[in-house]
Amino acid sequence: MRCWLLWDGRRAARRRGWTGSSWWERVEARVQESVRDKDAPQLSPKIPFTPAPSQPNTWERKVATNWKTLFSAALSRPSGGVFWTPDSTALERRRLQARTSASAGSALRFRFTRSTAVLPASILAVVEHCGNARGATEELSASASGLRAPHAPRAKGGPALARLPRQYGGGGRREWRDSCGGGNHHPHSLLCFISADQTCLQEVSRQECFSNAKTEELTGTMKVFCGRANPTTGSVEWLEEDEHYDYHQEIARSSYADMLHDKDRNMKYYQGIRAAVSRVKDRGQKALVLDIGTGTGLLSMMAVTAGADFCYAVEVFKPMADAAVKIVEKNGFSDKIKVINKHSTEVTIGSDGDMPCRANILITELFDTELIGEGALPSYEHAHRHLVQENCEAVPHRATVYAQLVESRKMWSWNKLFPIHVQTSLGEQVIVPPSELERCPGAPSVYDIQLNQVSPTDFTVLSDVLPMFSVDFSKQVSSSTACHCRYFEPLASGRAQVVLSWWDIEMDPEGKIKCTMAPFWAQSNPEELQWRDHWMQCVYFLPQEEPVVQGLAVWLVAHHDDYCVWYSLQRTSPEENERVHPLRPVCDCQAHLLWTRPRFGEINDQDRTDQYVQALRTVLKPDSVCLCVSDGSLLSMLAYHLGAEQVFTIENSAASHRVMKKIFKANRLEDKINIIEKRPELLAPADLEGKKVSLFLGEPFFTTSLLPWHNLYFWYVRTAVAQHLGPGAVVMPQAASLHMVVVEFKDLWRIRSPCGDCEGFDVHIMDDMIKRALDFRESKEAEPHPLWEYPCRSLSEPQKVLTFDFRQPVPSQPVRAEGTIKLRRPGRSHGAVLWMEYHLTPDSTVSTGLLKPTEDKGDCCWNPHCKQAVYFFNTTLDPSVASGSPRTVGYTVEFHPHTGDITMDFILPDVLSC
């Protein structure tokens, strides 16, 4: 049993304004508040953020003592579980998965420096995990958002940090594993500290790591020794990286291109800035601008062009601040724009400060899909108190959050486990969810999606669009917890389940310049809808579905703290209801920590279940001994109901073990299905009661998987347990195949396309920085995206590339495929989409990609429960590379058994390697 320390890095701490002793106080307060458990550790005494130079040893001992206390508390809790700090919503929103690599699911990162270990810069969680190499991620990986990351978590990561891409994470969703290659260490052998000034983790107990640290001291150079958990093989790979590799990764996965391509956003900001500068000038005042989260410096340059006398551009992310300085200089504004590389809460005023006086115009872009999820409220609150004049002009001037109550079986299936119907020889069997799952309010975080891709036939509207609350950014803003109630009469009778939400921002006091995130059905001119992926729409799930009657009024209540929003429905007026300020909902069934929202939808897909049932009928025998290998899968229950003599299931993590145990108990199968909580390679005959496995089965699904082929971990497990398979043992699925198709995206290409010129300003430097970051790590890697949200046309027919025979062990030599894909339709070849198909039996195949043949026009229908892999061609990454209208695309795809990686390269005629 071990404890894991997960972190969000120094920038997360800074963007929250956690400096000095207040950081430690907040950690302690949040632990107590979030855990709400008598066993929660008391983290005291308070420890200053920076140690006194004269007493480093004493300070280090205090840190070690307190973290040992925290570790011990986690280890000693009878039920195990998770400690969230600073709060669970922040963890989910920041998407642990966004910190991972699409190719390797990066886990704990070890950086060796000449300095001693210091207090963690921003601790997110300490997790109990029972020893296995694969499973540390399962405890947390399925953040309620579904391990999204696509393109921003979806957030910039602070008032000026690059938005991280949604595709890395959330979906996964989820990917933390053993950091030390095997996980057989004593509970106290892994004592880790995170460096506050390096955003890193140091392990001080393993001799080889300590020796590497010594080596770095002697050479005087900075290296990053990264332990990356491989989601396909389950092993840990140690790589030496450049010290700024994480910066390259964040830049490469940022959505700056998406923002710069957002013409509606840029135009409205420009109009609002011109109007604000004019109002100040009309009062006979100098226009002094504070731009918080300047990014490229675009809004600051707009302000100076509009007539501002001077602009102070605050940017906390150093690589971005450096780029802003160069962009400002290239456009000729260096004499009127000062870039300040600080968090806005660290900016000082005065003759020797960052700003000589307070600004009278406040410009910001601190918003995420949820509006306040990037810390907009605390940043505005601080700015009004310390950095801007009273009654200053603000751009945007106001934001309004809207909500619409709906009933939707499809969306509700992303949050609750439905009864599963299984037709057996004895009649229909129903797999029911445990009462804990039915009562559980669910995970607290928002599910952000492209709501325009949800058909209106998938939900029933129960209310009009309701303005829930507004924030006036030109006045003092409060980040305190608040609630806002709206009284309405339902438009129809039904079950209130889901709240759809979005916001708009008004750039001027009169509200004439407006930028809205409303979905098409709430737009006055839906044909002019602006596509964007850095701001989308929100899906919130009510704690429990509530029946409503047409015409019988109820109250919809929006609650928010400084970072997140949640909703409740009430039948009495707020004045009569004592619970108008309920606590943020927290998952207490653990299923919402184990399964992502897409995974909930997949499990609830009855058609998919029926396909597995049909396949099982063809391979099961009355004396079958089944071994099921998939994370949190109901496949073992299907096998039992269909007549297997004995069923075993491997659940690597404590969380999946607990959830499945509850489900088995609810269905009276706790003594019928044996749960094995052990790494597959450590499986012993006694675990199987001395029996040989006659049916080895899986979906396969693993919470650590990001890219489609990561679920080939099933193949590695099958190889590891080969000695336990009986003669003639059946494997289901018996094989898998990798498929691809060349596509033209309607909009998704924008997230990787350079901008060049934005509203008349030259931002090539930003394009070059992203390209260098892509060249450093990402350009030859595929990215996971839920393509049901991103329309595209196929330019070729789907083509099978590689086949993996699960009936045989993993080969020792690489498997390579070369060929060409013929393009049958005209269009811009933006990239290739790859997915896996699993052949359950010779006659039954489950696809994680295309669900049916493409239509004549090439329109694609994608599996909504899975992410597909997208490989963007160089013609998308660099428009200067002319592609013309190629008729074929050459490809090379290679599977490397040792690492589990699939590498690929594409060539378009007359174009260099893509």
* Residues involved in catalysis: 365, 374
Residues in the chain: 914
Q: For residues 910 and 875, give the distance between their C-alpha atoms in angstroms, rounded to a whole number.
A: 11
Nearest-5° angle of CA 588, CA 368, CA 381? 95
Task: Assign 377 to helix, strand or coil.
Answer: helix
Identify the CA nearest to 615 among candidates 283, 273, 843, 791.
Answer: 843
Strand partners, 783: 870
What are the structure tokens assigned to 812, written together? Answer: 């020792």
Q: For residues 846 and 797, give the distance between their C-alpha atoms in angstroms, rounded to a whole number.
A: 18
Is residue 535 within 8 A of residue 255, CB to CB? The reply is no
Task: Compute CA distances 872 → 141, 257, 699, 780, 867, whole Å.
Answer: 26, 14, 29, 9, 15
Within 535-665, strands assigned E span 537-548, 554-560, 565-570, 625-629, 646-650
Q: For residues 367 and 375, give the distance between their C-alpha atoms in angstroms, rounded to a whole number.
A: 8
Q: For residues 281 and 286, give the distance between their C-alpha atoms in angstroms, rounded to a whole number.
A: 6
Q: Does 45 sit behind a cis peptide bond, omega within 30 degrees of 0 on the bond before it?
A: yes
Q: For residues 240 and 58, give the distance between their C-alpha atoms in angstroms, rounded to a whole number.
A: 32
Q: For residues 889 and 879, give the distance between their C-alpha atoms in angstroms, rounded to a whole number.
A: 17
Amino acid at 20: G
Amino acid at 662: K
User: Residue 893: phi, psi to the nearest 5?
Assistant: -125, 135
Ordered alpha helix ranges (H), 527-582: none
Identify the CA nearest to 31 among candidates 92, 98, 109, 83.
Answer: 83
Radius of gyration of the chain (CA): 27
Q: For residues 912 and 11, give the distance between their C-alpha atoms in angstroms, rounded to a whole number.
A: 38
867's CB contacts (< 8 A; 6+ apart) are: 167, 171, 598, 706, 707, 708, 784, 785, 786, 787
